[in-house]
Amino acid sequence: MNRLLPAIAFLFVLLSATAQQPAPAAKAKRPPNPAMDPIQDVASLPRVLLIGDSISIGYTLPVRKLLEGKANVHRIPTNGGPTKNGVANIDKWLGTSKWDVIHFNWGIHDLKYMPDGKRQVEPADYEANLRSLFATLKKTGAKLIWATTTPIPDGELNPPRKFGQVKEYNDIAARVMAENGVAIDDLNAHITPQLATMQNPRDVHYTSAGSDYLAKQVAEEIGKALAR
């Protein structure tokens, strides 16, 4: 028994020290993005819906500001992701309320390379998904505006995407939209001359100035659609 006493004493000290250690701090939650906040409609104004990925999240708030007093600018309450995500969720996003204008885009997530070496949505499936999405959007009776997918910078990116493939996907979308008479907001051409100063280094996203620059173009095209 005497031989066990030192071991028991050591274990007691060890357990006491462990118990006194402070619990690890809880990981701080990222605050919700205000772009996702639902808005209260002004009854006399038309209703606009923005659908898109994180690029569209970046320009949502400045578009709202630019169209303040002219339109109720809503957005889907999430990152739109690839077209297959759109197909799965579009009915829920549209809801049952009337939309006057819908400004929409999918692309950057579709052409992202996955661990199996394939793109998240290969070109043929991208086209099929776009056609399905257009058919659903058309039923709303809203004026539709397709936004071209913005550029991918050259070089290694995480998650992996390849410079130049945006054109392949934009060409597919352009064909689908032309066949169906959908207006085009060419954000790709609009932002391309400003990439050096407005796109984050080695990133598909934009500085706040870049998002504001995109927002002016988006607001202008929505304004044209409302005027029609």
Rounded CA-CA distance 13/8 in Å is 9
pLDDT at 97: 93
Q: What is the pLDDT of residues 163-220, one digit of tens each?
A: 457 899 999 999 999 999 999 999 999 999 998 899 888 788 899 999 999 999 999 9
Phi-psi region of 116 (alpha: psi -120 to 50; beta: other; left: phi over 0): alpha
Please check the confidence at residue 154 and state whether its pLDDT lies above 70.
no
Domains in the chain (CATH in brackets) are 46-227 (3.40.50.1110)
DSSP 83-150: HHHHHHHHHHHH-SS--SEEEE---TTTTPBPTTSSBSS-HHHHHHHHHHHHHHHHTTT-EEEEEPPP
Q: What is the pLDDT of residues 170-180, one digit of tens each?
A: 999 999 999 99
Mean pLDDT of 10-18: 50
